[in-house]
Amino acid sequence: MLRAGTSRAPKRSRPILTCNDENCQLKIFNLQLGTVLPISDLKFRTTFRYSETDMPAYIIARVEVTDWTRYREYTKATPAAIARFGGKFIVRGGEIVNLEGEPESRRLVVIEFPSLEQAKAFYSSPEYAEAKKLRAGAAVGQFIAVEGA
């Protein structure tokens, strides 16, 4: 993720992004004067910082459910633990369309976390350890964590 820090913009202003068929321009609308200023008219100090911890990560689970009644208890217990580590469900079951290769018959779950460290911390947490106990005997799965782009 890129973060920009700026200074010297008018105190009461709003950024405006204007686009046409060929390009886009960022401008500043000065609320006090009611005017639009191109960014080039302002003196900005901009710094960009990139950090590996800013890269999202995903836990991908392929789960074969053997006892749906018990597995539903597990699915009720996991959202709170996931949210505690900044995670959110991207895919949670849903229709699967096989486009190439071996057909997939297992349940697929994809969970996004702010970083690989957060994904690993979630999976190793005491909160999730309690949820995993509910899954034992109800499903067999493969869980992998991978950094995103």
**Which residues sit opposite 100 in a β-bridge?**
none
Residue 44 has pLDDT above 50, yes or no: no
In 10 A of CB 64, how many CB atoms? 11
Phi first, then psi: give them for residue 132, nearest 5 degrees. -60, -35
Condensed to tens digits (0 to 9), the pLDDT of residues 54-101 reads 689 999 999 999 999 999 999 999 999 999 999 999 999 999 999 999
Residue 60 · residue 109 · CB < 8 Å: yes
Q: What is the pTM of this model?
A: 0.64
Condensed to tens digits (0 to 9), the pLDDT of residues 107-143 reads 999 999 999 999 999 999 999 999 999 999 999 999 9
What's the CA gap between 57 and 49, in Å, rounded? 19
